[in-house]
Structure 1
Amino acid sequence: MIGIICAMQIEADGIIALCENVKTRTHAKMKFTLGTLHGKDVCVVVCGVGKVNAAMCALMLIEKYKPDIVLNSGVAGSLSPIVGIGDIVVATKSVEHDMNGTALGDKQGEITFPDGNMMFFECDKQASTLLAAICKEIPDTKVAQGIIASGDIFVSDRKQRFKINDRFGALACEMEGAAIGHVCARCEVPYGIIRAISDDLDENKGMDFVKFCELASKKTVAAVSGFVKAYSDKM
């Protein structure tokens, strides 16, 4: 099974519309939609905004449905001139940029676990490579692979964008991906992240995000559909 966690309902609806044999179940007030896409079992769920929602959703998905891989898709803000509005970033790894234990001697973004510290959560390499290749087939779309940074803040300030980029080398920022990566890493489940850029370095405001949602969902739905069609659990 492929687990798909979406940041937007409009995107989840686009994926579900492509599915067959659809049925729904509710856990922790989240609706999990089960079905088949290109003959493969999938589970699609909207996690809501923020890292706690995303982490709770990912853990519930893993415990209830045992996915072979978890894919997170949605929109993100650019942190680099390399990517602009309409482009797609496929994560190679993710980081929680707002995690700050520096007063205790940790590095910014570093998380302490019982078995040691970790800053970056590595995405499944084969899945990321496949996802990037599929995204490159989407018309009028530039695709970049790199680090995605997540935090419980909508980053619009240009200086803050550059600060996150400088500190972590991240190409894009959003509010869920690294939390999903965090849970997947601890549960030893492969994961990947795809994000369409909704706002760039020109200090776009919230309306840019809203206006771009429909276009972004079309691109990411196409990418997710292509990924599911090409994905093999033997990867």
Structure 2
Amino acid sequence: MQKHPVTGMVMATLMEAKPFVTDIPLEKTEEYPFPVFSNEKIILIISGIGKANAAMATFFLCQAYSPKIILNMGAAGAAKDGFSPGDIFHIKHIVEYDRPDFKTGHPHRYKPFVLDGFRLADIATQDKPVIHPEHRKNVSELAGLVDMEAASVAHACGKFDIPSTFFKYVTDTPDHHEEENIIKYIKMFRKPFSRFVITSVLPKLFNM
């Protein structure tokens, strides 16, 4: 498949994506089957929350636009201590915590494309939010961060031989996990996160 000189972006919610739409800026160009915002260099798709939504949106993005790379961004939880709300990480390893391999019984794993110069972390993806302390403890044995989309984005990109790269910002921790706090931190840190990606990440991707 011939790749186009555009960068694809997958985000779960418009709440997280709003600063990217306004600050890059991007115009809404599609509504169905997924909302799409774009300019001459970027195609941003809003997938919806969860693995199935992320997989379908990424598949659509790959098939319809054939981007040179796909960047998945957004909120993530911390599975262990040592993380603070607002911390930004570049993902170096993805574990699909709730999809074991039929032969080995081990979770599927993905190695995304990693850029130099950023703080790194591993992430575990599953469809169920990791809220309960015992659940966090189990997941923390495999990864420091948790989300509900990254593994599906990586999996779908692999089907098209399109590289994927991931940046996440922390919105809940073992000490900050109430739902109202998660929403508060998404809104509080989405602007600094978008500024970081726009100024520090996108220039590197554009120059690839």
Q: Same fold (TM over 0.5)?
A: yes
Q: Structure 2 matches for 1:57-206, cutoff 5 A? A: 57-100=57-100, 104-109=102-107, 119-126=108-115, 129=116, 132=118, 144-166=119-141, 168=142, 170-202=143-175, 204-206=177-179
Question: Deviations along 1:14-56, whole A, 9 cap, x unmatched?
Answer: 111123573502342x1111214xxxx1011111010000000
Quote the Cα distance in structure 2 between the aligned partners of 1:228 and 1:205. Answer: 32
Q: Which runs of 5+ in 2 are unaligned?
A: 1-5
Identity %: 22
- Verify the 8 A CA contact 2:70 2:165 in the aligned structure 1: yes
- Verify the 8 A CA contact 1:74 1:216 in the aligned structure 2: no
Quote the Cα distance in structure 1 between the aligned partners of 2:78 and 2:175. Answer: 10
- Verify the 8 A CA contact 1:93 1:120 in the aligned structure 2: yes
Quote the Cα distance in structure 2 between the aligned partners of 1:24 and 1:47. Answer: 15
SS in 1 for 2:144: strand
- Verify the 8 A CA contact 1:5 1:58 in the aligned structure 2: yes
Question: Deviations along 1:119-173, whole A, 9 cap, x unmatched?
Answer: 21111123xx25x2xxxxxxxxxxx41211111011111221121121x2x1100
Quote the Cα distance in structure 1 between the aligned partners of 2:25 and 2:120. Answer: 31
SS in 2 for 1:188: coil
- Verify the 8 A CA contact 1:24 1:33 in the aligned structure 2: yes
Report the count of equivalent residues.
Answer: 202
> Which residue number in structure 2 is paired with residue 8 of structure 1?
13
Q: Structure 2 matches for 1:45-56, cutoff 5 A? A: 45-56=45-56
SS in 2 for 1:74: strand
Q: Which runs of 5+ in 1 are unaligned?
A: 110-118, 133-143
Quote the Cα distance in structure 2 between the aligned partners of 1:190 and 1:85. Answer: 28
- Verify the 8 A CA contact 1:88 1:196 in the aligned structure 2: yes
**Cα RMSD, aligned residues only:** 1.9
TM-score (norm 2): 0.89
Question: Deviations along 1:149-205, whole A, 9 cap, x unmatched?
Answer: 111011111221121121x2x110010111101111222111111111111112622
1:21/1:223 CA distance change after superposition, 3 Å: closer
- Verify the 8 A CA contact 2:49 2:149 in the aligned structure 1: yes
SS in 2 for 1:212: helix
